[in-house]
Amino acid sequence: MNETVRAQVRTYLEMGENELLFQIARNDQEEIMLHSPEAWIARGRELIAQISPKLRELVCGQKELLNKPEAELAIGIANLIAAHFEMPLAILLAVYIVKQGIVKLCGSEAPGAGRQD
């Protein structure tokens, strides 16, 4: 991915969860008129819930990718899901996954899941 995408990833990694959810809802392809930030955040949560099975399918089996540093991981995940989600939504989703933690998405399939260090 180019430097523009890397810059977007870095910017999105600095956002909090609600700000990411707001941006995810804004970048969804459906035309929805929402009037409050809370409604946009709720829509972002709904979208994540709806597409989590597809994200799990695309991401969780990629063991070699899942051990990379945060920014590289987000870029790698964005590459994996870009064929299924428009940009910049794919980048936002990838960053959300990274910030929430791979274990939250992948459960026992995630590297290090269940490990007691």
pLDDT at position 117: 39
Residues 54 and 17: their CA atoms lie apart, in Å, by: 20
Q: Which residues of the chain have pLDDT under 50?
A: 115-117
CA dist list (Å): 64 to 73, 99, 104, 117: 10, 18, 18, 20
pLDDT in tens, 25-55: 988 766 667 778 898 899 999 999 999 999 9
pLDDT at position 37: 87
- Angle 17-27/89-100 helices, nearest 10 degrees? 150
Quick one: DSSP state of residue 108? G
pLDDT at position 90: 94
CA angle 31, 33, 34 (to 5 degrees): 130
Short-list 6, 90, 29, CA closest to 55: 90
